[in-house]
Chain A
Amino acid sequence: MDKASQKTETKRLLIYLGATFAISWAMFFSLFLKGNSFLDETGNLSGVGNLICTFGMLCPSIGVIITRFITKEGYALAGDNSLMLGINLKGRRYLFYILAALLPWLYVELGYLLTVAISPGAFDREYFRTVTADARNAYVFPLMAIVSGVFLSIGGLGEELGWRGYMMPKLIKLCGTRKAVITGGIIWGIWHWPLTYAGHNFGTDYKGYPWVGFAGMVFLCVFMGILLTFVTVKTGSVWPAAILHAINNAQPSILQFFINPEKIRAPFNETAFSFLIRDLPTAVIALIIFAVFMRKKKTA
């Protein structure tokens, strides 16, 4: 890549990041300034907090629309420097769509399995009754999460259009795949920080709040970013990433209905810590995929 196009790409990337961070952080901080919390008295996401998160997920797409308008890159649906909204299933690409739909189930289930391995006492056959009266709902939940992830992936699409559809191709062009996935993951993680501070994902009641949460979010985003970038690059489309993201957010797992969080032994019962333990399988799978992906790229 010559210097002039490097400069252009960097400029475009900075415009995108500026627009996305400005819009989403302005929205996140507006809630802080009003003195409202993202969490309700039970520690769950409040109504307004949930709405801010839903709108926040759409901000990277708005960032792309604004950037493409300013940089005059156009809004092509598919092809080079496009919105990557095309779907091409030829050449076994459909396999990556199937992978995107099933992978979250695998690593989320493995994450809970790891929790049980660390804290066997937390496994409680009757715990599902606190969530649903009928155990069959627990068994059908992963399928529901997958179907919802595919058909109502608007939140995932909102983020992926920006992060994987615009930022990652630019970063890969500028600094190569290896550095790009790490840099991209860090940027994506930092973008989540106001939400982490507000208690989204980890809550606020853990040791080292909010710094441990900030680091945890970056850790999570780097590894999730690898998986999402992998399926995007392999298919040339943001759809599998949007589907994977949406299903991941729904946390498809049967085992979760049989784990009593109150019985998880210390220090693994801390929200941030248990969250990170659950995400270890994601990190391992991401690293394996990344190693295979990089080796194939090198051979090619």
Chain B
Amino acid sequence: MSGMLYKDFLAVKGKKILVAALVCTLLFTALRLALPGADMVNSTSGTGEEMRFVDGNMIDGFLWTMPFLFAFIGFGLPSFLIKGLITQDEKNKIRAFTKALPFGKSTYIASKYIFLAAAVYAAMSMGFIWCEIYFSRSGNNPFTDIVRNLQSFLIILSGVSLFITGIELPFFLTLGSKRATGLKSAILELLFLFVIGWFFFGNLNIFEKIDIFNMMEWTRTHKFEINMMIVLSPVTASILYFLSYKLTCAINRNREADIDG
């Protein structure tokens, strides 16, 4: 199993990804430590109007996007890795080769599930560390609140990421990368068409109600619901992920010829 995982790590150019993530983390740390954020202050204008503004530089207004970017790259990473993994295996006829090894078909499938679960764990852990880096010198302002919300949502994101991976993997392992990618593209295109259609005929007034500050207020007043999501989302996703693994094993159990074989 360790060998299979290491092979997958090399197949997706894991070392390069790790080094890139490490360099980005160090650069972000340097940037954050060099550029402290400023606090939000209340003040009264000359006309007696109450005002709230960030007192000092607006660096947090730029830096808050970094943990977000990193978290969302991490969120999409497993989905991106699946194709690379399966394509590499097909190219090198790994599934045929594993038949000569002293382990069952389910070990090959398990290695893919474990590798991608590890990728979700690593990506979300990095996201968590980036949030911590951001907080190290951030000011007391709305951008910090946004990142704080992101940090508490990371576990929910990792649950969703695991759930999506659990849906994609059976298709890739059963149909092969070409057909699975085709199917995935078709579904995404349909979704895109649906969104476009909604833009033409749907009620766009809904966008007027979307306000980041209202959303943050909602997270403040609905702490219990968010906490329940934090508890239930990864647990449910893990159970579904395990069921997805069992399903893939069942589908592939009696297959004589593998996709690449």
Contacts and interface: CB of A to CB of B under 8 A. Distances in A.
Q: Do A and B bind each other?
A: yes
A151 B124 contact: yes
Interface string B216-242: 000000011001101100110000000
B135 interface: yes
A276 to B, nearest CB: 28
Interface string A257-291: 00000000000000000000000000000000000
B129 interface: yes
Given A47-B138, A51-B132, A147-B155, A137 B234 contact: no
Nearest to B138: A47
A48 B230 contact: no
B224 A136 contact: yes
B245 interface: no
Contact of B224 (A76, A134, A154): A134
Given A86-B2, A137-B224, A137-B227, A152 B132 contact: no
Contacts of A78: 1-2
B133 A151 contact: no
A52 to B, nearest CB: 8
Given A47-B138, A50-B136, A148 B124 contact: no
Contact of A140 (B124, B135, B154, B228): B228
B125 interface: yes
A134 B185 CA distance: 44
Contacts of B155: 147-148, 151-152
Q: Is the interface of B mostly helix, strand, loop or mixed?
A: helix
A154 B228 contact: no
Contacts of B135: 47, 50-51
B163 interface: no
Contacts of A136: 224
A39 interface: no
B223 A132 contact: yes
Interface residues of A, number: 25
Interface in A125-149: 132-134, 136-137, 140-141, 143-144, 147-148
B223 A148 contact: no
B130 to A, nearest CB: 11
Contacts of B137: 47-48
A54 B32 CA distance: 15
Contacts of A22: none
B244 interface: no
A106 interface: no
A140 B128 contact: no
B149 to A, nearest CB: 15
A143 B155 CA distance: 13
Contact of A48 (B6, B136, B235): B136
B223 A143 contact: no
Given A47-B138, A152-B124, A140 B231 contact: yes
Given A151-B155, A151-B158, A154-B128, A144 B2 contact: no
Nearest to A77: B2
Nearest to B137: A47
B5 interface: yes
Interface in B103-125: 121, 124-125
A51 B2 CA distance: 32
24 contacts: A51-B132, A51-B135, A51-B136, A54-B129, A77-B2, A77-B5, A78-B2, A86-B1, A132-B223, A133-B223, A134-B223, A134-B224, A137-B227, A140-B224, A140-B227, A140-B228, A143-B231, A144-B227, A144-B231, A148-B230, A150-B234, A152-B154, A154-B125, A154-B128
Interface of A: 47-48, 50-51, 54, 76-79, 86, 132-134, 136-137, 140-141, 143-144, 147-148, 150-152, 154
Interface of B: 1-2, 5-6, 29, 33, 121, 124-125, 128-129, 132-133, 135-138, 154-155, 158, 223-224, 227-228, 230-231, 234-235
Given A51-B132, A134-B223, A152-B155, 11 more contacts: A47-B136, A50-B132, A54-B132, A86-B1, A133-B223, A136-B224, A137-B223, A140-B228, A144-B230, A147-B234, A148-B230
